[in-house]
Structure 1
Amino acid sequence: MSSNEQYLQSIGQKGKVMSKEEMTFDSYYDKAMENPQLARNAVQRVYDMIMSYGTYEDEKGKVHYNFFRGRMFGAEKQIAQIMDYFKAASMGLDIKKRILFFLGPPGGGKSMFLSFIKKGLAEYSKNEKGAMYKIQGCPINEDPLHLIEDEDTRKEIWERFGVKIEGKLCPFCKHKLDYDWKNNISHVRVERFFVDEDSRNGIGTFAPAEENDMSELWGAPNLRRVEEIGNEADPRAYDFNGELHKANRGIMEFIEVLKADAAFLHILLTLAEEREFKTPRFPLQFVDECLIAHTNEGEFYRFIAVKENEAIVDRLYIVQMPYNMSYKNEEMIYHSALKTKLVVKGVKVHPGAVRLASIFAISTRYSTDNDKLRDGMQGISPRFILNALAISLVKTSSDTVTPLDMYKTLYDQVERYPVLDVDTRIKYLKILDELKETIEEFNKVSDSDIKLDKVINNRTKLFDRI
């Protein structure tokens, strides 16, 4: 093999798991009793994944999580709320029956936050602390310990080894246990599997659309197999490939979930409360999933205005994810982006230009009715500023985007931004004019004035989704 072939082969294999560990259920059982962490549920794994990066305390004694360090700026309050949820749910408290729900304006970091968690879980599943195993050939990555169906035996295992077995076999594995394995579980094959969003392994995603079909969530009959077997209720004639199946043992993401119709939301209710859902022709199916949903504020308020939706709202653990209200945190977003995805060779952005843009953005985000809870839930988004930075970088005729350049670009963008009503546009342009009056102060800002976080988490790209 030539050196080029070897190089290209290494590129293709980079980051991929090239072999899978296999064993009999006997061997897996011994392994799980020695290491109860193998039997953790999905929420416990997510919590342990984040904690595996460690924590640190600031000068005020407040705990921070290394997993989010250098990834999220100004979101300490939201991170604390999310970690409180994961910790309580992983302990088995009743909050585990709630859906973790991110609520905030577009560009507030909801999707990015979830993206980090999904990628973190995928990486965690590749190391020994995050190792996961399934029944070989199972389409939903079934927990092998579900082969132990007897409740008395499960209770004994809990008392002797501290291993808690919850849930039941999927219809596919139940059929194999009864007919192929003749209820002899000792020689059932078990294999390791790895969370991977691209291959729909341990990560499921659902986004409402005008013509959603229920099969997106719970699969559908395989017509060719139905014809062969002659029975639609036979698990061998069904494709267990819905998003709820593929998310088993990992994370199920619901995008703009409140736009879904009543039938989908009813499934979500049962899923949150019982960790089960109903598929036509089959009994209730158990799935172990960390349920995370997100939507924007407008959709949320339209939803809660309908009294019939109270039961669903009651099952949400809501975390507000507003825009930053500190220009120091806001400018960290843009300085980090200028090192990663906003790079133009030979052109730099003056730190005063970034500060001017950050202060402008913050100034637009205050609540109009003096409600502190509403601060950051409206106004100019980070995406708008990132767009303005990109335009400034390509329009400048010099090697530096100055504060005045930034002012001109922002003024032009606001003037032509069709989303704004007349009064809001006038208000934003007035803010910019006031900032222009102090342009010399922005010119004095130097690199040493920028409080940049030097500790960057190198296990993921910064701001790959915003």
Structure 2
Amino acid sequence: MATKFDLSSLVKNWQTSHGIYHAGWTGTFQDYLELVKSNPKITRNAFQRMYDMILEAGTEEYIDFKKQVIRYKFFDDAKNNGKDAVFGLDVPLMKLVNVLKSAALGYGTEKRVILLHGPVGSAKSTICRMLKKGLEAYSKTESGALYTFEWVDTDGTLDGLFGKGARVFPTPMNEEPLWLIPEEMRSQVCEELNRGQEGTFRIHIEGELSPPSRYIFKALMDRYGGDYMKVLSHVRVKRMSLSEADRVGIGTFQPK
């Protein structure tokens, strides 16, 4: 007699073994501030996330021709049984990770385009594919959590501000919720959020709202006579996952 197939148990075991974290979280802006206070790293920028993701997989050091080389295990692609593993490129990969580290620390590299240059068959596309897959998986874990927000009109009282009949307006650029804090308040908010934090990571609010979000923000400020807290009542923060297929956080184009 065939045994009963338990899909829920299979899914639960898969989520546990892959470190998948609950990605359906939503909350108020104040709820998000509490999350930031308990885990400041959810505010990391793209370079910081990518660098931490690579380090999380571990490293090995060895001497090659009297030079110290760091091998980053992330490029072994162990989570995919080595399908896209890269071999023999430890030194170029070490240089690439150093560029990402520089950008993560804000040394200016973050303002430049990173170009992988090499002959055909030198794993350029493979490296990019691994980074994209890695970021997709990392964003679904607790350590790689990131958040964005959407504008909501729960009571339908905003007279079509989001468009005719629309009650929800997702931010088109998946902006960081902290960007909703006015420039004049940011240093004070950062000081409060960083107070008592351990480690070297510190929260910095650097970035601006997209034009649509800025338009809605200004419209709501006018509507409520400058009452900032009422504006925030129309903000719903949500957990997001990066996805190349859905064009969320990762974009790809083919040259012609």
Structures share fold, TM-score greater than 0.5: yes
- Say if 2:99 is the partner of 1:92: no
Tell me which amino acid in the other structure corresponds to 1:67. Answer: F
Equivalent residue for 2:178, pick from 145, 153, 166: 145
Tell me which amino acid in the other structure corresponds to 1:89. Answer: A
Alpha-carbon distance between aligned partners in 2 of 1:3 and 1:112, rounded to the nearest angstrom: 41
Structure with higher helix content: 1
- The CA deviation string for residues 431-464 of structure 1, in whole angstroms up to 9 with x for no partner, is xxxxxxxxxxxxxxxxxxxxxxxxxxxxxxxxxx
Task: Quote the sequence identity (%).
Answer: 35
- Say if 2:191 is the partner of 1:159: yes
2:23–2:240 Cα contact (<8 Å) kept: no
Equivalent residue for 2:134, pick from 108, 120, 124: 120
Equivalent residue for 2:61, pick from 53, 57, 64: 57
Aligned match of 2:88: 74
Structure 2, unaligned stretches of length 5 or more?
77-81, 151-169, 195-201
Alpha-carbon distance between aligned partners in 2 of 1:18 and 1:37, rounded to the nearest angstrom: 17
C-alpha deviation, 1:157, in angstroms: 2.9
Tell me which amino acid in the other structure corresponds to 1:41. Answer: N
Distance 1:100 1:38, change over 3 A: same
Alpha-carbon distance between aligned partners in 2 of 1:118 and 1:192, rounded to the nearest angstrom: 19
Partner secondary structure for residue 218 of structure 2 = helix
1:162-201 pair list within 5 angstroms: 162-180=202-220, 182=224, 183=228, 184-187=230-233, 188-201=235-248
Alpha-carbon distance between aligned partners in 1 of 2:251 and 2:175, rounded to the nearest angstrom: 15
Alpha-carbon distance between aligned partners in 2 of 1:24 and 1:143, rounded to the nearest angstrom: 14
Aligned match of 1:132: 146
Alpha-carbon distance between aligned partners in 2 of 1:44 and 1:18, rounded to the nearest angstrom: 22
2:118–2:124 Cα contact (<8 Å) kept: yes
Alpha-carbon distance between aligned partners in 2 of 1:96 and 1:6, rounded to the nearest angstrom: 44
Aligned match of 2:34: 30
Across the aligned residues of Structure 1 and Structure 2, the Cα RMSD in angstroms comes to 2.7
Tell me which amino acid in the other structure corresponds to 1:156. Answer: Q
1:122–1:195 Cα contact (<8 Å) kept: yes
Equivalent residue for 2:51, pick from 40, 47, 54: 47
Tell me which amino acid in the other structure corresponds to 2:248. Answer: N
After TM superposition, where is structure 1 displaced by more than 6 Å over at least 4 residues in a row?
13-18
2:244–2:252 Cα contact (<8 Å) kept: no
Tell me which amino acid in the other structure corresponds to 2:251. Answer: G
1:305-344 pair list within 5 angstroms: none
Distance 1:17 1:84, change over 3 A: closer
1:266-285 pair list within 5 angstroms: none
Tell me which amino acid in the other structure corresponds to 2:115. Answer: F
Distance 1:138 1:39, change over 3 A: same
Partner secondary structure for residue 78 of structure 1 = helix
C-alpha deviation, 1:156, in angstroms: 1.9
Partner secondary structure for residue 56 of structure 1 = strand
1:23–1:190 Cα contact (<8 Å) kept: yes
1:50–1:67 Cα contact (<8 Å) kept: yes
Alpha-carbon distance between aligned partners in 2 of 1:89 and 1:109, rounded to the nearest angstrom: 22
Partner secondary structure for residue 203 of structure 1 = coil
Alpha-carbon distance between aligned partners in 1 of 2:132 and 2:91, rounded to the nearest angstrom: 20
| TM-score normalised by length of structure 2 | 0.71
Tell me which amino acid in the other structure corresponds to 1:46. Answer: M
C-alpha deviation, 1:173, in angstroms: 1.5
1:47–1:87 Cα contact (<8 Å) kept: yes
Aligned match of 1:337: none
* Deviates most, 122-131 or 133-142: 133-142
C-alpha deviation, 1:106, in angstroms: 2.1
- The CA deviation string for residues 307-364 of structure 1, in whole angstroms up to 9 with x for no partner, is xxxxxxxxxxxxxxxxxxxxxxxxxxxxxxxxxxxxxxxxxxxxxxxxxxxxxxxxxx
C-alpha deviation, 1:154, in angstroms: 1.1
Partner secondary structure for residue 148 of structure 2 = strand
1:177–1:185 Cα contact (<8 Å) kept: yes
1:313-462 pair list within 5 angstroms: none
1:229-308 pair list within 5 angstroms: none
Alpha-carbon distance between aligned partners in 1 of 2:50 and 2:29, rounded to the nearest angstrom: 25
Distance 1:107 1:68, change over 3 A: same
Alpha-carbon distance between aligned partners in 2 of 1:62 and 1:73, rounded to the nearest angstrom: 14
Aligned residue pairs, count: 204
2:23–2:140 Cα contact (<8 Å) kept: no
Alpha-carbon distance between aligned partners in 2 of 1:158 and 1:18, rounded to the nearest angstrom: 27
Alpha-carbon distance between aligned partners in 2 of 1:81 and 1:154, rounded to the nearest angstrom: 34
Highest CA radius of gyration, 1 or 2?
A: 1
Alpha-carbon distance between aligned partners in 2 of 1:18 and 1:97, rounded to the nearest angstrom: 33
Alpha-carbon distance between aligned partners in 2 of 1:140 and 1:176, rounded to the nearest angstrom: 14
Alpha-carbon distance between aligned partners in 2 of 1:202 and 1:29, rounded to the nearest angstrom: 22
